Chain A
Amino acid sequence: MNNPLITTVLSCFLYSSFAFGQSAPLAIGWANVDITPDKPVLLAGQFYARVSEGVMDPITATALAISTRNDGGAEENIIMISVDVVGISDGMRDGANLRDATRKLVIEALPELSPEKIIINATHTHAAPLVASLKPIEEIYGFPMEQLSPDKEVMPPADYLEELSETLAKAAIEAWQNKKPSGISFGLSHAVVGRNRLQAKNEGNSTMYGNTNDPNFSHIEGYEDHALNLIFTWNKEEELKGILINIPAPSQVSEHSFELSADFWHETRIRIKKEFGEQVHLFPQVSAAGDLSPHVMIDGKAEERMQRLMGWEELGTGRNSMAQRHQIANRITEGIASIFPVMQKNIDFAPVVLHQAKVLELPRRLLGEEDVKTAQQEAKEWGEKYQAVKDLLIDDPEMIHNPRWYRDATTSFSRMRRGTVVEERYELEKTNPTLPVEIHALRIGEIAMVTNPFELYLDYGMRMKARSPAVQTFVAQLTGAGSYLPTRRSIAGGAYGAVPASTLIGPEGGDMLVEESLNLIHTLFDKNE
C-alpha cells in the first residue's frame, strides 16, 4: 500500500479461507424465487413516497451457489444472491439489515458456511419495496401510513424485510442443495445500456438529467462503459444452466412507477430464456455505475423512432418506456448471443475458486460549515413546504383520499430530512471519522470479482479493472445499502449525486476503496501465479 494515510486509517477485519493451486471439480447450484409482495408496499427510490398500486411484473431473486475443493484440500463455498431491490440494507442506516438477517437464516440451515460467504447485491430497480429502514413511516416520509394509504392496508417495511430475508435464505439454501458438478466459461461482450447522466455546462457546473439541447451544454461529465461481463455456468453434459450478467447500468427505466417491477431485467429474463432455454437462470449484477442510468441524454427522438419501428409503439416509447426496456433486453441478449458459440467451446470444469472479504474503515467525506449552512438553508425551505401541507391537512383532512396526494408533500419532507442529515453527519464526523464498509474479492479461474456497497462512480470501477491482475475483472456495486461515491471531477461539477447530502464517502475514500479492492484481488492472484 503506497498511501501512508490509508495505512494509518485502515483498520480491518480480515476473514479469508483460501488455498492455491489446481482445484477439484466445481459444483454449482441455482435457485430463483419470486419476492413480489402480495400486499401494497412502499416503493423505494424516489424522494416521494409511492404506495404500490399493483404489479407490473414480478420481482425476483436469484441465488448462485459455488463450491469447490482447492488443491491443498481447503473448501471454498460461496453463495451469491441477486435481488430486485434498490439496495441491500446492511445495518449502516436506520436499523434495517437485510443482509445480516438473510445470512443468519442461511447459516442456521447451512452451518458449513460462514456469514461473509454470502454476498447479496441489488439490481437497483426503483420499483421494489423499501428495505432500507425500520423507522416508523412518519419518520421516513413525514406522514403516518394511515394518511399515505387510508383506504388500503400497506405492508410495513419491517414486515416485508423479514419476509424477504426468509425468502432469500430459502433461495440460498435451495441453490446450495441444488449444487451439481459444473463448469464455467467467461467472456467480454458489449451492449450499450448505461448512459452517463451528468451534463456539464460551459460555466463548469453539472446537472443530473440536464437539458443537452442548450447552448450552455458543454459535455457529458464522465465516461461510460458498455462492457457486458459474462459468466456462463454449465452442467457436466455442457448444457447451459445460468448466466451472470455484470453490466454498468442500474435498472431504473421505470423508476417513477407506482407498480412493482424488476425493470429491464424482467424483459431480459424473458428474452434470455427464449434464446437460450427455459432452464437458464439469470444473475444480474450492476458494475460501477453511480453516474450512469439507462436514460438517453442525446438523440432521444431518433431512439424513439427506432423503438416505434421495432414494433413497440403500443407499449409506449421514449424515456421511461416499456419500449426502452425491450430495447435494452434485446441489446443484452444480442451481446450474449454474439459470444455464446465461443463460450460453449471454452468451459473450465476445475477453476481455482478463492474468496476474501474485508471490512474497510473508509474515511467519511468531510463536511465543512458551508456545507452545513447550505443544507440547513435547503432544509428550511423544504421544511416550510412540508409544513404548509401539514397545515392544509388540518383544514382538509379528506385530501388524503385523493390519489397520490402525498407526492409533493413527501418530497418536501425527504428533502428537508436530507438537509438536516448533513448537519447530523457534520457532528458525527467529529467523533466517528470513518465508516465501516464490507468488500469482497472472488477469484474464479482467471476472473476477479470485487464488490462494494456503493453507487460507485464509473471511474473508480475503471481504475480497478485497468489495474487488476485478472484477465477479466467484474466490479459489482450495491452489495450493501448504497450511497453515491462520486469522483473529484463530479464534486467540482456539483450535480446531484456529488453533493454532500448524497454522499457518505468522498474521493479520498474512493481512492482507498480502489487500492484496497486491488490489494484484495492481488492476494487471490499473486501467490498463485
Chain B
Amino acid sequence: MPLQSVKLSIKLIFWLFLFGSTLNHSLAEPPVLGKLYVGKASADITPELPVALMGQFYLRIAEQVDTPLLANVLAISTLEQEKEISSVIFVACDLIFVPDILREELVTALKGAAPEIDSNRVILTATHTHTAPVLEDDPERSSFIYPIPKEEVVPVKAYRELFVRQVVPAIKEAYANMQPAKVSWATQRTAIGHNRRVSYADGTTQMYGNAAKDNFRELEGYEDHDLQSLFFWNAKGELIAICALVACPAQVLEHLSSVNADYWHHVREKAKAKFGEQVLVLGWIGASGDLSPRPIYRKKASERMLKLSGYTLEEAIAEKVVSTLSTSLETVKKDTYESLALAHSLVPLSLTKRKIKEDEYLEAKTNVENLEKEMSEKPETTANLYARKTWNASVVERYKEQQAGSQNGFESFMHIVRLGDIAICTNQFELFTDYGIQIQARSPALQTFVIQVAGSGSYLPTITAIDRGGYSAVIQSSVVGAEGGQELVNETVNRINAFWDGE
C-alpha cells in the first residue's frame, strides 16, 4: 500500500488536538499490579454499496459484499479496590489502515459520547485488507487520491461517518461491560507470511518479482513466523476473546472488486466454531511491510496443495492460524493471570524524514507530467492513473518543502502497553520485518507484540531495500527511511524498557 503524506501544518493541528492536553501521558506510568477486568464488543463496519476500495493504484468500485467488515473492541483495565489503575482499549479494524482523519473524527465523537473514556488509550489497528473502503479524499492530507465518481458511489466521508457511528457505541459497550477476567499469552511458530521482495544478480529488487528467472538470487529479507496470541477468560472460566498477531497483512484478495475482510473473516468463523460463539477475535498484523500472504516461489506445489485440500488460500491461512491458536490455548490455559501489571503510554514521535534526491524528484515530476498528459489525451485512463499521479505528485511537494529548508521531522506516534510479562507496541507504518525483529530481540519483555499499520500506513523500508529499490522502497513509497526506522526501533525499545525498569 502506498504512503500517506500529510502536510505538516495540518498534522501539527491534529497532534495538538489529539495529544495536546495529554503529553504527560507519554511519560511511562508505573506498572502497578491490579485486578484484571475485560470487556468486549463488536462493530459492523461493512459499507453501503457501491463503494470505492482502497489498496491499488487503479480505482475499484465494489458492488458486492463477500464478507462483513468488523471492528472488534477489547477494553482492558486493572483495578485496585474498585479504582481504575490503568486501562487500554484495542479496536481491531478490517481496514487498510487508520488515517489521521478517521482517528480525529472518532476521537471527537467519542469525547462527546463517552467523556469517561480517555481517548488517548484507544488503540486503533488495521488488518490491512485491500478490499475495504477508501478512507481519505483530501489531497492536502493524502498522497493517494482516487477519482471517485461523486454521484453514484458512497462518498468517502459518508463511510467514515458510518465507521464512527458504529465504532463509538462499541467502544462504550466494551468499556461499560468490563468484568473480572483472566489472561494468558502464547507464541507458536507457524509459517504464513512470505517475503515478497525478489532480488536479482544486478543488485536490484522487485516486489513480487519473478523468482523463476535465471538471474534470481535471493529474497531480500527475513520473515517472522511467530504467531503470538493473548487469551482472555471471564470469571466463569469461559474463553471470551483472543488477540492474534500474525506478521502478514491480510491481502490475499487484494485485487478483488468486492468488500472482503480477507483471511481474518475465516479466522473469526473458524475460531467461533472451534472455541465457541462467544469468542471475539482481534486480528493484529505484526511488522511485515515486506511480506505478503502469497508464495513467491514454489507456486505450483502450493497451488496443488490448495486444490487437493479444497481450500482457498485465505481459508488455508485461517486454518493454520486457528490450528496454531488451538495448540497455544491448550498449552497456556493453566498459566493464567487475574492480577497483573497493566501500563500504557502514548508516545509522540518525530522521525527523521527520508531525504529526497534530485533525480528522484525529477523522475517523480516527469511521471506527473506524463500521467497528466495521458489522462488528458485519454480520459478513460483516469480511473487507473489518477492515484499514481497523486502518489508521484506528493514527492514533488515533499521535495519543495525539503528545498525550502523545512527540516521538521515526520510526526508520528506509538502506543506502548505492558500487560503482565508481555509488551505491545504499535506504529503507523508498513514496517519492514527487520525492524520488528530488532524490537523483539532487544525488548526485555517475555513476548513483544509489534503491531503495524496502527495509524496512516506508509512503508518503512530498510537500508538494504532502499539501496535495491523496487515498489515499497522507492521514494514515493516512504516518507521515513532507514534512519527514521532506526529511531523508531530505538525509541520503542527505550519506552518498553521504561516499563521494565529495575526488573
Contacts and interface: CB of A to CB of B under 8 A. Distances in A.
Query: Which range contains the number of B residues in contact with the other chain?
Result: 35 or more
Contacts of A222: 218, 222
A339 B191 contact: no
Interface string A301-338: 11101100110000000000000000000010010001
B440 interface: yes
Interface of B: 186-191, 195, 211-214, 216-219, 221-223, 225-226, 296-298, 300-302, 304-305, 308-309, 320, 323, 327-328, 331-332, 334-335, 434, 437-438, 440-442, 446-447, 462, 464, 490
A213 B441 contact: yes
A465 interface: yes
A189 to B, nearest CB: 8
Contacts of B335: 309
A509 B306 CA distance: 36
Contact of B190 (A190, A473, A487): A190
A172 to B, nearest CB: 29
A143 interface: no
Contact of A342 (B217, B222, B305): B305
24 contacts: A213-B441, A215-B442, A219-B464, A223-B195, A223-B218, A223-B219, A226-B189, A297-B441, A298-B441, A302-B187, A306-B331, A334-B327, A342-B305, A463-B216, A465-B298, A466-B216, A466-B296, A471-B300, A471-B301, A471-B304, A472-B304, A473-B298, A473-B301, A487-B217
A402 interface: no
Interface string A268-305: 00000000000000000000000000000111011101
Given A302-B446, A467-B211, 18 more contacts: A218-B434, A219-B434, A219-B437, A222-B218, A223-B223, A226-B225, A298-B440, A298-B441, A299-B226, A306-B331, A339-B309, A463-B211, A465-B298, A466-B211, A466-B297, A471-B301, A472-B301, A472-B304
Nearest to A487: B218
A470 B300 CA distance: 8
A217 B437 CA distance: 10
B397 to A, nearest CB: 32
A188, A212, A303, A459: residue with the most chain B Cβ atoms closer than 10 Å: A188
Interface string A186-197: 011111100010
A187 B308 contact: yes
Interface residues of A, number: 51
A489 interface: yes
Contacts of B437: 212, 219-220, 298
A346 interface: yes
Query: DSSP majority for the A interface?
Result: mixed
A107 interface: no
A188 B188 CA distance: 20
Given A192-B191, A223-B219, A472-B300, A342 B212 contact: no
A191 B195 CA distance: 17
B300 A338 contact: no
A215 B447 contact: no
A237 interface: no
A24 interface: no
A2 interface: yes
Nearest to B435: A219
A224 interface: yes
Contact of B438 (A189, A190, A218, A470): A218
B219 A462 contact: yes
A306 B305 contact: no
A233 B441 CA distance: 42
A331 B302 CA distance: 19
A261 B331 CA distance: 28
